[in-house]
């Protein structure tokens, strides 16, 4: 317990030392004509501004973000590769709306189809990928809905892979789209950089620009996607990276193409101007140590499995405080990744995050003498505790 108090004391000094800047007053978030919007930090997952974030809305071509996410998972699992050829079916070729213009019966690589979906918003490319990965678009849609559940997208349900449907059962929300975008960026950073920042793509001598207009006007923006139908209005999800801080801005149902760009840019500026994100604990780095009873090692280091971030108003770092609640001891053999307590970070008197602690490596049983001595210690400890 003494070591835990010492670590908490050092953490408190660190927070106070790095929080010397004066806090900026934070104005109310921007107000738009959009049906809903969300501004989220991509690392901490904290929502910094929102309006009707859980309103069920028509996603239009923002549907393709989930289509791409499912394909990325298929690539990760080895179901397909970027070089895998895909035969364009009659159904894919006949898709209306925005298209890649892939010819029926032609074979197009998964990589080129992904470019057709992300850059050109091709409905034909989306259906071709869905049929290749799922066997049919209907089966692929089942995968889309399963991944939506896993990501906690509580207000989302998909009916097709392109977003061209008018089915009222096909819906999502601004918060859910932020969660999905966060998953794409954090789980597939290489694919994100490879596909989403492309400003144009040429297929069959037809060049089409990326519909994310902020890619051309804001150098910090590096993706993600736009959507539009008459009923959905103009929608856009973008992500931007400035000085190591990454934000995701979602606007749904704006009145014009220009409005969605202005609104997303205003959200990004609001977040970057008035908030800052800090990585408090790195994955795999010891936060403290726990007593190892009957083990070959006397103590086992514990920490977090994933980097822990917090997003707070600028200049308020000194208002953070951390408290450790680690186990008093663990009995060997101890596996790596065993639960070992939790760490709580508070801001301005309110809990900001509460994360579990795990052992960072395994501890085998010690020799017979170590086990005997510790057994006696544990017996007296148990007896003293009643």
Per-residue model confidence (pLDDT) at position 380 = 61
Q: Indicate if 64 belongs to the active site.
A: yes
Q: What is the pLDDT of residue 9?
A: 38
pLDDT at res. 156: 98
- Positions of E strands within 88-152: 107-109
Name residues whose C-beta falls within 8 Å of residue 55's C-beta, 6 or more positions apart in sequence. 35, 36, 155, 173, 174, 252
Cis bond before residue 182 (omega within 30° of 0): no
The confidence score (pLDDT) of residue 353 equals 87
pLDDT of residue 11: 43
What local confidence, expressed as pLDDT, does residue 26 receive? Answer: 87
359 and 255 in one domain? no
Q: Say if residue 248 is in the same domain as residue 294.
A: no
CATH number at residue 184: 3.40.710.10
Q: What is the pLDDT of residue 232?
A: 93
Query: Could you report the per-residue pLDDT of 42-86, keeping only the tens digit for each?
Result: 999 999 999 999 999 999 999 999 999 999 999 999 999 999 999
Q: How far is CA 348 from CA 257, 310, 317, 319, 371, in A?
A: 40, 13, 10, 5, 45
User: Is 337 a domain residue?
Assistant: yes
Of 36, 121, 162, 173, the catalytic one is: 121
Catalytic choice (61, 89, 181, 239):
61
| Sign (positive or negative) of CA dihedral 166, 128, 82, 76 | positive
Residue 28 maps to a domain: no
Give the integer Cα–Cα distance in Å for 304 and 294.
Answer: 24
Q: Which residue ranges in the chain fall short of pLDDT 50?
A: 1-21, 384-386
Q: Is 61 considered catalytic here? A: yes
Instruction: Clarify whether residues 164 and 240 are in a common domain.
Output: yes
Q: Are residues 246 and 354 in the same domain?
A: no
Q: Which domain holds residue 114?
A: 36-274
Per-residue confidence (pLDDT) for residue 375, from 0 to 100 = 74
**How many residues in total does the chain contain?**
386
Claim to verify: residue 12 and residue 65 sit in the same structural domain? no
Q: Which of 44, 50, 51, 64 is catalytic?
A: 64
Q: Is there a single domain that holds both residue 176 and residue 294?
A: no
In a domain, 25, yes or no: no
Q: What is the count of structural domains for the chain?
A: 2
In the prediction, which pLDDT does 1 show? 40
Cα–Cα distance measured from residue 80 to residue 209, given in angstroms and rounded to the nearest whole number? 27
Whichever domain contains 371, its CATH number is: 2.60.410.10
The tens digit of pLDDT for each residue in 307-355 reads: 999 999 999 988 899 888 988 888 889 899 999 999 999 988 888 889 9
């Amino acid at each position: 317990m003494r070591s835990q108090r010492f670590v908490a004391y050092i953490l408190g000094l660190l927070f106070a030392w790095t929080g010397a800047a004066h806090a900026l007053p934070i104005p109310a978030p921007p107000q738009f004509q959009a049906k809903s919007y969300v501004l989220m930090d991509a690392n901490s997952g904290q929502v910094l501004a929102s309006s009707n974030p859980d309103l069920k809305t028509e996603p239009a071509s923002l549907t393709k973000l989930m289509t791409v996410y499912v394909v990325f998972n298929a690539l990760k699992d080895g179901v397909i590769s970027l070089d895998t050829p895909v035969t364009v079916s009659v159904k894919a070729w006949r898709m209306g709306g925005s298209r890649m213009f892939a010819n029926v019966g032609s074979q197009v690589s998964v990589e080129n189809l992904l470019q057709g979906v992300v850059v050109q918003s091709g409905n034909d490319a989306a259906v071709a990928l869905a049929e290749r990965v799922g066997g049919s678009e209907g089966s692929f849609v089942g995968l889309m809905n399963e991944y939506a559940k896993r990501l906690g997208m509580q207000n989302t349900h998909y009916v097709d892979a392109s977003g061209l449907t008018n089915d009222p059962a096909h819906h999502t929300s601004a918060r859910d789209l932020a969660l999905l975008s966060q998953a794409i960026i954090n789980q597939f950073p290489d694919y994100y950089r490879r596909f989403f920042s492309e400003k144009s793509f040429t297929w069959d001598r037809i060049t089409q620009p990326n519909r994310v207009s902020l890619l051309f006007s804001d150098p910090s923006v590096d993706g993600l996607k736009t959507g539009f139908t008459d009923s959905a209005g103009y929608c856009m999800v973008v992500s931007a990276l400035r000085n190591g801080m990454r934000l995701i801005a979602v606007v749904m149902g704006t009145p014009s193409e220009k409005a969605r760009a202005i609104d997303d840019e205003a959200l990004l500026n609001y977040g970057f101007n008035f908030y800052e994100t800090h990585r408090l604990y790195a994955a795999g780095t010891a936060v403290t140590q726990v007593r190892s009873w009957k083990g070959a090692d006397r103590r086992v280091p514990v920490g977090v499995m994933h980097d822990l971030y917090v997003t707070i108003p600028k200049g308020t770092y000194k208002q953070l405080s951390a408290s450790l609640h680690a186990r008093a001891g663990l009995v060997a053999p101890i596996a790596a990744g065993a639960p070992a307590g939790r760490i709580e970070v508070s801001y301005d008197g309110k809990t900001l995050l509460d994360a579990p602690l795990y052992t960072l490596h395994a501890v085998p049983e010690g020799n017979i003498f170590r086990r005997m001595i510790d057994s006696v210690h544990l017996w007296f400890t148990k007896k003293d505790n009643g």
